[in-house]
Amino acid sequence: MLFQAFMPFELDVDGDITIFGVRKGAGPPLLLLHGFPENHLMWHRIARRLAQKYSVVAIDLRGYGKSSKPAGDDSHAIYSKRTMAKDCIAVMTKLGHAKFYICAHDRGARVAHQLCIDHPSHVEKAILLDIAPTLAMYEQADMLFATAYYHWFLLIQKSPFPETLISANPEAFMDYQMGGRHSPTIQIFDSEAYDSYLEAMRDPAAVHAMCEDYRAAATIDLEHQREDIKEGRKIQCPLMILWGKNGLIEKKYDAIAEWKKVSASTVEGEALDCGHYIPEELPETLLEKIETFLTD
């Protein structure tokens, strides 16, 4: 059991929506948000060490892991990053954490981006792993982006087309998605964690929810980001950006410059010697970066 020492919880956050998570520690609160197609287990190589200094809360985003997986609709608002950010605020508030740090990867980092803008008084500092802002990535789309992030365009297709393709052979999808496309080998993943990721791909409700996450990113999330830019709403807290030296962010974007465009505070960061799945590929280095940034 990867999180055996942690206390599991389920909290109602929005009507019949329940968010699952685990928590441990007694220091300053730190919220961990996972990426696609993973869940809170992706943090298993650093969470116990972090819990020695922080009150660690690791959740499954709505649509992922053991959290609720409501059916989407044509607006995709149910899976907008603004809605998912509200889930996070509800969880942390119910756990007694009015202000907290965030470390978030991939899709979770996109939720954290919106959370920092919508709820600035709640966030002390934020660490975002291996992303550039969603709007910037779509607006700069080219052959390199579309090839490396093919799933951004597959998963946004009208339901149930991508769901049907994935569900026809979830093992093949996961083997390609995680086994060498973004990581050096599928062997970097702990078997218990990977089995849980694969199990989700065998669940039609989870596959639909993940597609809705991406559909929201290509529609309502872009509307929200354009509105934020127009209204001058920016990230207010200090921000650290870390990305894999072997991935698309390094090859295509000036990550620090892109985040400075949407931040009113300091932005720092660097490329790390790994691929996309930083917490599982390079945990010791990530721990060092987190602890240094949060204690400065």
From the options 3.20.20.80, 3.40.50.300, 3.40.50.1820, 3.30.70.270, give the CATH code of 7-295.
3.40.50.1820
Q: Contact at 8 Å (CB) between 106 and 80?
A: no
Q: pLDDT tens digits, the chain, 296 residues: what are they? A: 899 999 999 999 988 999 999 999 999 999 999 999 999 999 999 999 999 999 999 999 999 999 999 999 999 999 999 999 999 999 999 999 999 999 999 999 999 999 999 999 999 999 999 999 999 999 999 999 999 999 999 999 999 999 999 999 999 999 999 986 666 778 899 999 999 999 999 999 999 999 999 999 999 999 999 999 999 999 999 999 999 999 999 999 999 999 999 999 999 999 999 999 999 999 999 999 999 999 98
* Interior angle at CA 171, CA 170 and CA 175, nearest 5: 115
One-letter amino acid for residue 33 of the chain: L
Contact 242, 149 (CB under 8 A): no
Q: Which of 60, 87, 106, 228 is catalytic?
A: 106
Per-residue tokens: 143:
């052959």
Active site residue 276: yes
Domain boundaries, the chain: 7-295
Q: Is 106 a catalytic residue?
A: yes
Angle between helices 107-118 and 220-231 (to 10 degrees): 40
Strand partners, 9: 21
8 A C-beta contact, residue 69 and residue 20: no
The alpha-helical segments, DSSP class H, found in the chain are 47-50, 81-94, 107-118, 134-139, 143-148, 151-154, 161-168, 170-178, 191-201, 204-217, 220-231, 248-252, 255-261, 278-281, 283-295
Instruction: Please give the C-alpha separations between residue 135 and each of 11, 49, 223, in angstroms, as whole numbers.
Output: 31, 34, 9
20, β-bridge pairs = 10
